[in-house]
């Protein structure tokens, strides 16, 4: 018998993602985004996101099935992000998943968004080595995870104690007058700048901080340092070298992320590092991760960008792993948990 077809639904933030996966093969997917509706607010507005999910969810399911050349009748199991994320947004995906599972009389699996991000990688590179160190860097998360079994044994090693890396990008962009979401814009700007022009602080890397927060991250001090630096230049009537600021800020973010991730691998004797989340698109982060992993003898896994940002494929991929392990399905009264732990 061939492996089951799993339908995955993601709706934890501003992306409505649906995909069909068999084993580690992506059969078809579809993505709708409300990002444009949030631009004028400079960040995701939960109510706007929930309404957009509601409008997009059914057409996105239909498009994913069309893309796979399948119908819902071909689906053997349904997986959905149950958390963490925005409560109202999560509820739309979970309600749709329950309806599909109930109508098809197929099992339903509520899965964790962070684990799903990591699992996206199997669609590009096959099963994850066990253990794998995972670094998740997005607008909502900055987490170091030890993955011993992606379906059932993921532990959190460290996380941001304030802003997520992508959030820091978006906030710094706002100060520099760059549109939301700031990451891609600052990345482009940084290409023309000198990453060594300004020495911005590296959060939680002092000997004292490392005692308590060796594998944690902090980006709010960096953000404040950038704001202060820019304000001082303006106060002194000097022009602000935007490209140098963007490049120096990006260098500080990439330096801390890669340094801590590699330290975590070495400390735990782990030879494989997987990186995911929207910030993975960042040029300096990718280059620095490649160079530093090569120097440390660590094998680096980064999926294609489309699989790094929020999408349905990662949820379906994790669902397929959960089904393969024979884990117990969720009941039809599955709830959402906006701060669901791994
Ligand atoms: O994973 P994602 O699509 O959504 C979630 O937050 O879950 O990540 C979006 C974040 C935003 O903060 C955006 O500014 C950031 O990823 N981002 C980038 C780049 N592309 C997207 N940050 C830095 N450089 C980029 N090239
Ligand atoms: Zn995400």
Q: What is the ipTM of this complex?
A: 0.98
**Alpha helices for the chain (secondary structure H):** 35-38, 46-68, 87-104, 113-119, 122-125, 165-175, 182-190, 207-213, 220-235, 242-267, 283-296, 305-308, 312-324
- Ligand 1 touching residue 83 (CB < 6 A): no
Give the per-residue pLDDT at 39.
86
Q: What's the pTM value of the predicted model, to 2 decimals?
A: 0.95
Give the per-residue pLDDT at 1.
61
Phi/psi of residue 158, nearest 5 degrees: -165, 165
Residue 64's nearest CA partner among 19, 10, 100 is: 19
Give the per-residue pLDDT at 308.
95
C-alpha span between 9 and 72 (Å, rounded): 13
Query: For a substitution probing ligand 1, which of 44, 90, 117, 181 has the most ligand atoms within 8 Å of its CB?
Result: 181
Domains of the chain: 5-120+311-324 (3.30.420.40), 129-303 (3.30.420.40)
Task: Report DSSP state, residue 40.
Answer: G
pLDDT lower than 70: segments of the chain: 1
Which residues make Cβ contacts (< 8 Å) with residue 18, sequence separation at least 6? 7, 8, 9, 10, 29, 30, 31, 57, 60, 61, 63, 64, 312
Instruction: Name the closest-CA residue to atom 13, ligand 1.
Output: 183
Give the per-residue pLDDT at 88.
98
**How many whole angstroms from 31 Cα to the centroid of ligand 1?**
16
Give the per-residue pLDDT at 2.
83
Please return the burial class of 265, using the count of CB atoms within 10 Å of its CB with bins 0-12, 13-18 and 19+.
buried
Query: For a substitution probing ligand 1, which of 138, 275, 284, 306 has the most ligand atoms within 8 Å of its CB?
Result: 138
Spatial strand order in the sheet of 25-33: 25-33, 15-22, 5-10, 77-83, 108-112
């Amino acid at each position: 018998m061939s492996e089951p077809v799993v339908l995955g639904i993601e709706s934890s933030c501003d992306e409505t993602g649906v995909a069909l996966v068999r084993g580690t093969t992506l059969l078809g997917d579809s993505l709708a985004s409300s990002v444009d509706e949030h631009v004028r607010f400079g960040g995701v507005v939960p109510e706007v996101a929930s309404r957009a999910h509601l409008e997009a969810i059914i057409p996105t399911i239909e498009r994913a099935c069309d893309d796979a050349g399948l119908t819902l009748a071909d689906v053997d199991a349904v997986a959905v992000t149950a958390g963490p994320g925005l409560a109202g947004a999560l509820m739309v995906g979970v309600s749709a998943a329950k309806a599909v599972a109930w109508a098809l009389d197929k099992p339903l699996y509520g899965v964790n968004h962070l684990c799903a991000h990591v699992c996206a990688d199997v669609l590009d590179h096959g099963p994850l080595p066990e253990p794998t160190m995972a670094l998740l860097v997005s607008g909502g998360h900055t987490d170091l995870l030890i993955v011993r079994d992606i379906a059932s044994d993921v532990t959190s090693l460290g996380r941001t104690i304030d802003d997520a890396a992508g959030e820091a990008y978006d906030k710094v962009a706002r100060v520099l007058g760059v549109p939301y979401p700031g990451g891609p814009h600052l990345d482009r700007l940084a290409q023309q700048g000198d990453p060594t022009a300004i020495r911005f602080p590296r959060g939680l890397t002092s000997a004292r901080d490392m005692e308590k927060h060796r594998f944690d991250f902090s980006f709010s001090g960096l953000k404040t340092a950038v704001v202060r630096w820019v304000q001082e230049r303006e106060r002194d009537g000097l022009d602000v070298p935007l490209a140098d600021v963007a490049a120096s800020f990006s260098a500080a973010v990439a330096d801390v992320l890669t340094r801590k991730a590699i330290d975590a691998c070495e400390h735990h004797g782990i030879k494989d590092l997987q990186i995911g989340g929207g910030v993975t698109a960042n040029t300096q982060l990718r280059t620095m991760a490649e160079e530093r992993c090569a120097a440390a003898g660590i094998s680096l896994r980064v999926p294609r960008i489309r699989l790094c940002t929020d999408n349905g494929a990662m949820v379906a991929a994790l669902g397929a792993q959960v089904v393969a392990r024979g884990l117990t399905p969720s009941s039809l009264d599955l709830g959402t948990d906006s701060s669901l732990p791994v």
